[in-house]
Amino acid sequence: MTTARTPIQELESRFERLSKIGDAAGILQWDMATNMPMGGGVARAGQLSVLKVLGHEILCDPALADFLDAAEADRGLDPWQQANLAGMGRRRARAVAVDADLVRRLSEAGSACELLWRAAKDKADFAMITPALTEVRDLVAERAVALGDALGLDPYDALLDGFEPGGRAAAIAPVFDDLALFLPGFTDDVLARQAAAGPPLDLPGPFAIDAQRKLCRSMMEVVGFDFTHGRLDESHHPFCGGVPEDIRITTRYSGDDFMPGLMGVLHETGHALYEQGLPVDWRHQPVGAARGMALHESQSLMIEMQACRSAEFIAFAAPRMREAFGASGPAWEVDNIHRHYTRVARGFIRVDADEVTYPMHVIMRFRLERAMLAGDLAVKELPGAWAEETRALLGLTPADDAEGCLQDIHWYDGAWGYFPTYTLGALAAAQLFAAATEARPGIADGLAAGDFTPLVGWLRENVHQKASLMSTDELMAEATGRPLTTEPFKVHLAARYLA
């Protein structure tokens, strides 16, 4: 005899199905970025659209509302079940606000625009993608208004909330304004200090791509990446995708400089460790997912910036770099390599930026996407506005669209409201790392020995295993003793670059 499921069990079953549909879409998106021939774009866009609509239909099923109401009345739910129920309600509220036809149109437009973006970027020609991006912007704006009306949010906040639950532009703008005032002068001080010390010795290339692949893989293993549940590939834009049991990391390599490829891999490995460390018991449930992109970025930036650019880790990595490229000489000594990895320079490319200037790249994108979404900036005017913001914040003028507004994939595939989480993540990374090293003094010695167990162990306990049990603010306060603030980030920069 089959026992009827309780409302919470019925909900868990439905959300498990929804999660697995999302998992399939994730693998298809990874394949689109790494292996799929250009001619497969139309077919793949259709496949992804169907999966997104299927997920949307699950969330919008009227029966789901009945099960949510019944589960809300259950007073026997434990804290994890209560948080899971809240996450389910949040997912449904966002879904029913947008009709399935808009979900389909935005999915198809984003997939098509992303494929066209690759060609436009290669040709540094924004004009060839302007109509496609305008269509995506219009559809994103339509979705933002629908979400905002349903959730009682400003349209931009409605998008931001999808990446960072509870994130609001009114709270972020003052933080970014503070950084915009602090960082230019701080950058001047760092550049003056570097100039007085003279440039580091050049690391002579070229660097064989196969050697870079092997080095990257070995460093991933050192950090703790599980290759029985993941892989490393190449794409136009580095990313971490797939599912917790099958993480797909990508990077890009240059024969002239191995550092961006390696640090891109270590950055994405931080994302992967978060996914691989989420609680297995709550897999496929909202409460078992990563909390939001600010925390996700904190995990990638902590591995890349706080840990892997530290003097301790470079001391461990330097001989392995020498071995990988068959190199020797003064340029390959630990101190010189560390100077390369902590070199500050104003540049055009966000993903290649150092941690001092990186927030400026995010701040300008935050301002520009808000202006485009509000209708204050036409898409065709983006290259000029981009150049103006770049001059104002970084003192540079892009030579072409490739090093300007075509460099990032986000807007072209429909991810608007995402960019602020990068710098929120940097602030959280500094704050979490400070708390971790205070709680476990052996972390620095571990990095020097290539042992990430103390650091990753603290993160597993205080971040990864918490998943979405609590809000970002609550998790930060519990893990560090205070809410998110800019102070630890500023302290970290001062200690690394001006001490």
Exactly one of 12, 164, 268, 389 is catalytic; name it: 268
Same domain, residue pair 102 and 174:
no
Boundary of a domain, candidates 100, 128, 163: 163
Same domain, residue pair 114 and 222:
no
Same domain, residue pair 226 and 359:
yes
| 86 CB burial (10 A radius; 0-12, 13-18, 19+) | middle
- Percent helix, strand, coil in the chain, to 5, is 70, 5, 25
Residue numbers of the chain with a pLDDT score lower than 50:
none
Same domain, residue pair 203 and 85:
no
Answer whether residue 306 is part of any domain. yes
Answer whether residue 238 is part of any domain. yes
User: What's the number of CA atoms in the CB half-sphere (13 Å) around residue 241?
Assistant: 21
Answer whether residue 2 is part of any domain. no
The answer to whether 386 touches 379, Cβ cutoff 8 Å, is no
Give the pLDDT score at 100. 86
Which residues partner with 233 through β-bridges?
250
Answer whether residue 15 is part of any domain. yes
How is the beta sheet containing 230-234 ordered, strand by strand?
230-234, 246-251, 239-243
Looking at residue 470, the DSSP 8-state letter turns out to be S
Same domain, residue pair 200 and 232:
yes
Same domain, residue pair 89 and 208:
no
What does each C-alpha distance from 445 to 138, 426, 434, 451 come to in angstroms? 52, 23, 15, 8
The pTM score is 0.92
268 is catalytic: yes
> Which residue shows structure tokens 């703790």?
224
Same domain, residue pair 386 and 249:
yes
* CATH code, domain with 221: 1.10.1370.30
Boundary of a domain, candidates 128, 163, 198: 163
Same domain, residue pair 200 and 99:
no
The answer to whether 72 touches 8, Cβ cutoff 8 Å, is no
What does each C-alpha distance from 392 to 55, 58, 387, 408 come to in angstroms? 43, 46, 9, 20
Answer whether residue 391 is part of any domain. yes
Give the pLDDT score at 464. 98
Looking at residue 233, the DSSP 8-state letter turns out to be E
Report pLDDT digits (tens) over 299-319: 999 999 999 999 999 999 999
Give the pLDDT score at 38. 86
Same domain, residue pair 222 and 124:
no
Same domain, residue pair 245 and 124:
no
What does each C-alpha distance from 440 to 434, 436, 447, 456, 481 come to in angstroms? 10, 6, 12, 11, 15
Boundary of a domain, candidates 113, 148, 163: 163
Answer whether residue 1 is part of any domain. no
Answer whether residue 58 is part of any domain. yes
The candidate with the shortest Cα–Cα distance to 129, out of 22, 251, 121, is 121
Looking at residue 124, the DSSP 8-state letter turns out to be T
Answer whether residue 309 is part of any domain. yes
Same domain, residue pair 150 and 186:
no
Same domain, residue pair 133 and 218:
no
Which structural domain, as residue segments, surrounds residue 187? 170-497
Total domain count, the chain: 2
Give the pLDDT score at 141. 97
Give the pLDDT score at 2. 57
